Each structure stands twice: as C-alpha cells, then as structure tokens.
C-alpha cells in the first residue's frame, strides 16, 4: 500500500495503514495473552521471546493466525525489537509492551500519524494507570540543567523544565522523545535511522531513537488523546532488577551521546535525585518498597552496572 493510498482510498475514505505489531517479551505469557485477546485476529503480530519459550508462549502464538514467534535468546529489548522489525513485512511497525492494552483503533490512529507524514519518526500513545492518570510517557533530551531541576524536585513546580514528561489528561506536549510502550514507526524510517541502538540492552532505546531522528530533521509525536491502560515498562523480571537496569541504561546513554564530562554530570545529578527520594520514601513517607526501588535506580545510574538473572548486561 502506498503512502497516498494509506491516507485516502479511491472513494475518499481514510483507509487503515498496513501495520504489524512487534512485541518483545520476557516471562510475560499471561500479559501477551491478555494483550492479543483484545486485538483483531487478522492483525499481523511478531513476538520475540527473550525467555525462549520457558513459559509456554510458543504454544500461544502457534494458535493465532498471522502471528510469528521468534526466540530472542535473552539479547535485550533493543536487539530483540530490531529482530522483530526485520521479520515483519508491513509498512508501519507498532512496538507494543506486553502489559499495555491498546485497541485496534488506537494502533491504527498511531500508524496513520507516521504513514501520512514522513517527517514524523514515531507516534506514541499515552499510558495511563487504573485511574486514568497519565504516566511518564516521554520527555526532553537529558542535559545538566534538566537533570539538576529533576534532582532538586523543581520539575514539580516547572514541569517542562525537567527531564520526564507526565502530561495532564488531554494535554498536548512537544517532547524530544516518546516512550516506546505503544509506539508506531514507519518501516522505511526505522531502517533509515538504524533501528534501536543495540548498545542499550534495555531502556533509553526510545530516547536514542528520537535523538537520531532529530538529527535527521524529524520529530516525534505524543498522543494524549490516545490513552492506553498499562505501564511504561512492565516485564516478568523482578522490579528491583528492572529499576537498576533503568539507572544503568541512562548512565550508558548519556555517556555515549553526551560524552564523558557532561554525561558524568548528568548521571551524577540523576543518581543524587533518586538517592534523596530514597531517604524521603524511607524516613518521611514510610514506604520502604518504593525506597528500595529508588535506591536500585540510583545505584544503577551511579555504577553503570546491572544484571539480568545473574548475568551482567551493563558494566562488563
């Protein structure tokens, strides 16, 4: 289907874009089953399983028409998503996390954004919690100033001066990057920009993709009018492990894309911010679990080291 045909058919009616779902999963069979149950059976799906079928996922995918199962071998999100993208043949790829619940209409709307505007590198839905409140779904390029604003908690007063964007319901924001939990990309664009950065095992791959897109004169779009129930990074992995991975990935991203001096300052500020939050959650708010999560992020950012199931993936 050509771009012009994607925008309007011969009768002037908007046609659905040619799209395929790419899902990267890790011990998330129940989540994948629930996600696919809410979508059209005719929708092409590529599932890349980083737990290699240990939870019975291959049987689930084998029972669905137009679905392809690939073993990821624990290669991390970025490489697995790139693998899934190469296996899909549609004009538009929609990367979807297993723990999100977009409708077929949501996917089509996002796909239309990128199918009809070649300068739009990615279009992403806004993930919301069970009460409909938007989560952190994108943000602005890391800088020393923005990291300092976040560390000091000033982003609560000046929400557009920090690093992360948490829009109010229905609020449109111009952001530098969008979270890849439910994100559409034209295949041609994805290939031209080199896909996701395979140096980033997990997290910040969407930040890096948007950065490269901006360097090519493109932009990303955040769609608060498409709220999707879910989270911004669920998986079958332990929560503390994932939080440390987040911090370590940020550390590697800023070091690679901002250089050592500036990258060190950014990661130090972010790590300090999470360390302060750890103390607040532990001593003031009396929420020890949240305190442990924030501390795990701070340690990951400060050390640039993280593991998955005992295997070092950052900081070799």
pLDDT digits (tens, 9 = 90+) for 220-259: 999 999 999 987 555 667 889 999 999 999 999 999 999 9
User: In this predicted structure, what is the pLDDT of residue 235?
Assistant: 61
User: In this predicted structure, what is the pLDDT of residue 198?
Assistant: 95
The Cα 60–Cα 83 span in angstroms is 20
Tell me where in the chain the CATH 3.90.550.10 domain(s) lie: 3-140+175-229
Q: Please state, rounded to an integer, the average pLDDT across all residues of the chain.
A: 91
| 77-87 vs 205-215: helix crossing angle, rounded to 10 | 60
Percentage of the chain surpassing pLDDT 70? 94
User: In this predicted structure, what is the pLDDT of residue 122?
Assistant: 98
Residue 140 Cα distances to 18, 89, 219, angstroms: 30, 32, 12
What's the pLDDT tens digit per position in 148-195?
Answer: 999 999 999 999 999 999 888 778 899 999 999 999 999 999 999 999
User: In this predicted structure, what is the pLDDT of residue 232?
Assistant: 59
SS3 at position 113: helix
The residues, ordered by sequence, that sit 6+ positions from 280 with a Cβ below 8 Å of its Cβ are: none
User: In this predicted structure, what is the pLDDT of residue 13?
Assistant: 46
The Cα 232–Cα 129 span in angstroms is 10
CB-count burial class (<10 Å; 0-12, 13-18, 19+) for 262: middle
User: In this predicted structure, what is the pLDDT of residue 234?
Assistant: 55
Of 118, 117, 87, 114, which Cα lies nearest the Cα of 23?
87
- DSSP conformation class of 36: H
Q: Find out whether 269 and 150 touch, Cβ atoms under 8 Å.
A: yes
pLDDT bucket at 135, cuts 50 / 70 / 90: confident
User: In this predicted structure, what is the pLDDT of residue 233?
Assistant: 59
User: In this predicted structure, what is the pLDDT of residue 216?
Assistant: 98
Q: HSE on the CB side for 183, CA within 13 Å? A: 28
SS3 at position 37: helix
**Fold of the CATH domain 3-140+175-229:** Spore Coat Polysaccharide Biosynthesis Protein SpsA; Chain A (3.90.550)
- Average the pLDDT over 129-139 and give the result: 89
Tokens 């991390």 sit on residue: 76
Residue 240 Cα distances to 13, 64, 234, angstroms: 49, 33, 12
Per DSSP bridges, beta strands 219-229 and 182-186 are unpaired
Tokens 């130090």 sit on residue: 268
pTM (predicted TM-score): 0.92
Percentage of the chain surpassing pLDDT 90? 83
- Average the pLDDT over 272-287 and give the result: 96
Indicate if the pLDDT at residue 5 is higher than 60.
Answer: no
């Amino acid at each position: 289907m050509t771009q012009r045909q994607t925008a309007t058919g011969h009768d002037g009616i908007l046609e659905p874009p040619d799209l395929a779902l790419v899902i990267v999963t890790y011990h998330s069979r129940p989540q994948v089953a629930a996600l696919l149950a809410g979508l059209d059976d005719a929708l092409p799906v590529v599932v890349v399983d980083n737990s290699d079928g240990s939870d019975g996922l291959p049987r689930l995918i084998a029972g669905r028409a137009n679905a392809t199962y690939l073993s990821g071998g624990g290669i991390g999100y970025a490489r697995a998503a790139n693998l899934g993208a190469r296996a899909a043949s549609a004009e538009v790829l929609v990367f979807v996390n297993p723990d999100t619940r977009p409708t077929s209409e949501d996917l089509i709307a996002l796909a239309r954004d990128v199918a009809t505007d070649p300068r739009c590198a990615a279009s992403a839905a806004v993930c919301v919690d069970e009460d409909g409140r938007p989560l952190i779904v994108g943000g602005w390029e890391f800088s020393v100033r923005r990291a300092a604003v976040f560390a000091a908690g000033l982003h609560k007063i000046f929400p557009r001066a920090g690093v992360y964007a948490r829009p109010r319901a229905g609020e449109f924001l111009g952001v530098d990057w969008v979270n890849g939990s439910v994100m559409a990309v034209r295949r041609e664009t994805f290939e031209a920009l080199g896909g996701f950065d395979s140096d980033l095992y997990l997290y910040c791959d969407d930040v890096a993709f948007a950065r490269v897109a901006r360097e090519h004169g493109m932009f990303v779009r955040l769609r608060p009018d498409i709220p999707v129930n879910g989270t911004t990074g669920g998986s079958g992995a332990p929560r503390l492990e994932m939080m440390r991975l987040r911090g370590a990935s940020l550390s590697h991203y800023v070091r690679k894309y901002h250089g050592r001096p500036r990258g060190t300052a950014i990661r130090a500020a972010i790590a300090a911010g999470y360390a302060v939050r750890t103390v607040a959650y532990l001593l003031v708010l009396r929420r020890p679990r949240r305190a442990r999560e924030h501390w795990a992020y701070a340690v990951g950012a400060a050390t640039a080291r993280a593991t998955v199931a005992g295997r070092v993936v950052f900081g070799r």
